Structure 1
Amino acid sequence: MCVENVPPPSSRLTRRGVLAGAAALAGTTAALAASAPSASALGTSAARATRPATAPRGGDLVIDGGTLLDPETGQVTEDAVVVIRDGVVRAAGARSKVEVPSGVTVLDAHGQWVLPGLVDSHIHLNSAAEAAKTLAQGATTARSGSTNFYQDIAVRELSRQAPGLAPRLRAAGVFVTPDLGDTILADPDLTELARAKGGVTSAEALRRVVEVNLARGVDTIKTRVNPRAGLAEQDPLEQVYSREQLSTIVAAARRGGKEVLCHSYSAKGCHDAVLAGVKSVEHGAFITEETLHEMRRRGTYFTPTMVAIGGMIGDPNPVLDERGRTYLPKLKAAAKLAHDLGVGLVSGTDSSGGEVEPIGAEIEMMHSAGLSALDAIRTATTNAARLLGFEGQVGRLARGYAGDAILLSRSPLDDISVLKTPSRVIRTGVAV
């Protein structure tokens, strides 16, 4: 085989270049180009597709005649009207109290329930296709649990430029983990870590991964204290980072104005993560009451991802099947205790690998754990909005909030399973 003798490419790759690659991999460039004629104004190159653009004007819509549920107060309003202008709720409430503007598209919601768009607080969105499915299933807002090549940043930009194609997203970039694997190839600024003895474990290496993520424009930092439960060859109770190492990650993130979510299973791992200052504990199968009390004191949130854990039940691999059967009851008990203690409890599907579970399935799990239907709904609306920094913007259909809504064929307070199959989804005033 003949190879042309040419000099190697420069290792100096710009932020735009890295994110252009992420956009191409995620398919967001093509999604933007195909979304609408106006998308052509953004350009067709991957570099332009990842450039932050002025948010497009939202839609104008009146949702007429449905039964409106406000998760914040629990108030149910029959024959309600929701007025959305420029993608923002201008009025919502009983017909007698809402002035309906003329010349605005009306969506007939008679016989249906109207709720704010839902929030998936832990999901891995690697592509435009996954983002579209997530949105169609009712999650109009989400938080990434990391991707291997900044694809979530590309999806976030897609959601800003074409809101009807993706949920509003908090991106986490790449995982801060001892073994970056192929992610080292994702960014020239990470390749130096391939030579790090013991992987990403030293304080310098930990800070470096955080700093590179921050430079790429992430909204939050994702790390771990235990390996994955979904890989039979890994021990999910092994502790891979100490409290001191986790504290280094948290401190580096906070210097950049960001918080940390932490993949955790073991009792000690969860406790160390909380004492290190993470904003939320993810999974947490063996979390203890002591740690939950500490979380309540510190304002740390809990994302148990029960659908993902329960999904291991019935796996052909007996190790995974056993883990699912063992972990799920513990998680349900932990979620109920967290709720009773006043810990911020949020729903996340942990969907990844092309399979997207509806956020309604996790809300249903919360209900089966012992939460009331209304409290379960709050884990994917008002609670999640506070965790993600969207309080006052999402989680309700009230004046000044985003015009994100779902329509349901029956009452979720009577049959919470209906949240898995919304009949209509509205994102910033536009029906998806």
Structure 2
Amino acid sequence: MCVDSAPPPPSRVTRRGVLAGAAALAGTAAALSAAPSAAAAPGHAPESTGAAARVGDLVIEGGTLLDPATGAVTEDAVVVIRAGVVREAGARARVEVPDDAPRLDAHGRWVLPGLVDAHIHLNTAAEAREAVRQGATSARSGSTNFYQDIAVRELARQAPDVAPRLRAAGVFVTPDLGDTVLADPDLTPLARLKGGVRSAEALRRVVEVNLARGADVIKTRVNERAGLPEQDPLAQVYSYEQLSGIVAAARRGGKGVLCHSYSARGCDDAVRAGIRSLEHGVFVSERTLYDMRRRGTYFTPTLTAIAGLADSPNPVLAERGRRYLPVLKEAVRTAHLMGVALVAGTDSSGGRIEPIGREVELMHASGLSALDAIRAATTRSAQLLDLQRTVGRLARGFAGDAIVVDGDPLADVSVLRTPLRVVRAGLTLW
């Protein structure tokens, strides 16, 4: 059985209703009303009215500033943030420091741009807040069940101190949508499909509905899940032809595709189909990595998630994690040597938010230099998210997002796991 191949109706009422439901599930409306006022902490701008974003003025002074783009290290640096945007950054002698802005003393600490988690599942406002608290001031969603990530994205635009700047993926393009068909009137016809979302028409419909709801990217899969013991992560669920149809539908809407992948054949099919980024990719082959470099396909290995399987109380998952992690580390090392663009993502989900600094640490352990591992969570991820002129550096015109850490991350990347302070759009979190 097929579904109507016509695009979903651009009903304003339907879109408002669907996204209002997503906001209710995510708790973003409550988070916005409960967000602290500007006067609650130094560095906060006066509370804004209406839908205008709260942004702040702040001077971060005295720390050692690292610029991931160039690798430059500046001691006794000053970062001046006005209305949430960096006005100046550099050595104190070269920066004009305003007298009227709040100060954040970073003497004896290191200052870096806020980190980017390029694969995370944010279903609630509480999870979004925790991600920022751990240093992820920007992120890309790995999909949610009921468009909650779109609600979180809107929360971030109005109250950046409680949510990371987010690229939302909407709902997963997967054979079995499950209860997700209840999320949207335009998805309910898919519940009648006996074989699931597999036909060209059905695949196109899920992509088009996502785009109609405001998704920034499209998330799909080529293999089953590694985190479910009853599934085989090497079993392929979509063919090259099906993946190509998903990519084509996304491109018509001007969007890229991230693809959940494990097997060598699955990874190869996904890359040849034209995905923008390969997620997980444990058994990706050197031939496919070469093709990724040629095409400019990004690689998000999510080492944190694979490492977490080894700690599972389930023996199937624990054994899977122990077997997969060294294979994935070698794939990351090979990809880096071949010049494939690596980006950092934790694949955090289910209410547990892992620190993005842990992913940087695991990338470093896989053979990347400390600086290259940091770039995977800053400048490289910013490029993937098309935020390279906004995110990943503390330079004039960039977002006033920063972390302050207790130690030299070039000597010990583990300091990134526990930022001492986080600044989002010129607003200090604590």
TM class by shorter-chain length? over 0.9
Name the residue aligned to 2:200: 203
Confirm whether residue 284 of structure 1 aligns to residue 290 of structure 2: no
CA deviation profile, 1:260-301 (whole Å, cap 9, x unmatched): 000000000000000000000000000000000000000000
State the distance in 2 between where 1:93 and 1:208 align. 50
Name the residue aligned to 2:100: 103
Residue ranges of structure 2 left out of the alignment (5+ in a row): 1-10, 38-45
1:32 touches 1:39 (CA, 8 Å); kept in 2? no
Q: CA RMSD in A?
A: 1.4
SS of the residue aligned with 2:309? coil
Matched to 2:33, the amino acid is A
Name the residue aligned to 2:24: 24
Confirm whether residue 14 of structure 1 aligns to residue 4 of structure 2: no
1:147 touches 1:173 (CA, 8 Å); kept in 2? yes
CA deviation profile, 1:318-370 (whole Å, cap 9, x unmatched): 21111101110011011111111111100100000000000000000001101
Name the residue aligned to 1:328: 325
Name the residue aligned to 1:65: 62
Matched to 2:417, the amino acid is K
**Under a length normalisation based on structure 1, what TM-score does the superposition of the two structures give?**
0.93
CA shift for structure 1 position 36 = 4.7
Name the residue aligned to 2:130: 133
State the distance in 1 between where 2:80 and 2:337 align. 36
2:54 touches 2:160 (CA, 8 Å); kept in 1? no
CA shift for structure 1 position 58 = 2.1
Name the residue aligned to 1:243: 240
Confirm whether residue 160 of structure 1 aligns to residue 157 of structure 2: yes
Matched to 2:232, the amino acid is D
Matched to 1:273, the amino acid is A
Name the residue aligned to 2:166: 169
Confirm whether residue 263 of structure 1 aligns to residue 260 of structure 2: yes
State the distance in 2 between where 1:368 and 1:227 align. 27
2:86 touches 2:399 (CA, 8 Å); kept in 1? yes
CA shift for structure 1 position 39 = 7.8
Percent of aligned positions that are identical: 73
1:222-237 mapped onto 2 (5 Å cutoff): 222-237=219-234
Matched to 2:61, the amino acid is D
Relative distance call for 1:115 and 1:60 in structure 2 (3 A) is same
CA shift for structure 1 position 317 = 1.9
Name the residue aligned to 1:307: 304
1:33 touches 1:40 (CA, 8 Å); kept in 2? no
State the distance in 2 between where 1:99 and 1:12 align. 48
1:279 touches 1:300 (CA, 8 Å); kept in 2? yes
Give the counterpart of 1:412 among 406, 409, 413. Answer: 409
Relative distance call for 1:196 and 1:427 in structure 2 (3 A) is same
State the distance in 1 between where 2:311 and 2:358 align. 18
State the distance in 2 between where 1:422 and 1:362 align. 14
Relative distance call for 1:423 and 1:12 in structure 2 (3 A) is closer
CA shift for structure 1 position 234 = 0.4
Matched to 2:30, the amino acid is A
Give the counterpart of 1:402 among 399, 420, 424. Answer: 399
1:313 touches 1:324 (CA, 8 Å); kept in 2? yes
Residue ranges of structure 1 left out of the alignment (5+ in a row): 1-10, 43-52
SS of the residue aligned with 1:156? helix
Relative distance call for 1:355 and 1:14 in structure 2 (3 A) is same
State the distance in 1 between where 2:33 and 2:93 align. 43
State the distance in 2 between where 1:386 and 1:376 align. 15
1:81-96 mapped onto 2 (5 Å cutoff): 81-96=78-93
Aligned length: 411
1:311 touches 1:324 (CA, 8 Å); kept in 2? yes
Could you list the structure 1 runs, at least 4 aligned residues long, displaced by more than 3 angstroms after superposition.
36-42
Name the residue aligned to 1:6: none
Name the residue aligned to 1:349: 346
**Under a length normalisation based on structure 2, what TM-score does the superposition of the two structures give?**
0.94
CA deviation profile, 1:356-414 (whole Å, cap 9, x unmatched): 00000000000110111111000000000000000111000011100000000111111
State the distance in 2 between where 1:422 and 1:21 align. 34
CA shift for structure 1 position 316 = 2.3
Matched to 1:142, the amino acid is A
State the distance in 1 between where 2:294 and 2:412 align. 34
Give the counterpart of 1:79 among 70, 76, 79. Answer: 76
1:12 touches 1:188 (CA, 8 Å); kept in 2? no
CA deviation profile, 1:71-112 (whole Å, cap 9, x unmatched): 011110000001111111111111111111121111111000
State the distance in 2 between where 1:318 and 1:23 align. 37
Matched to 2:63, the amino acid is G
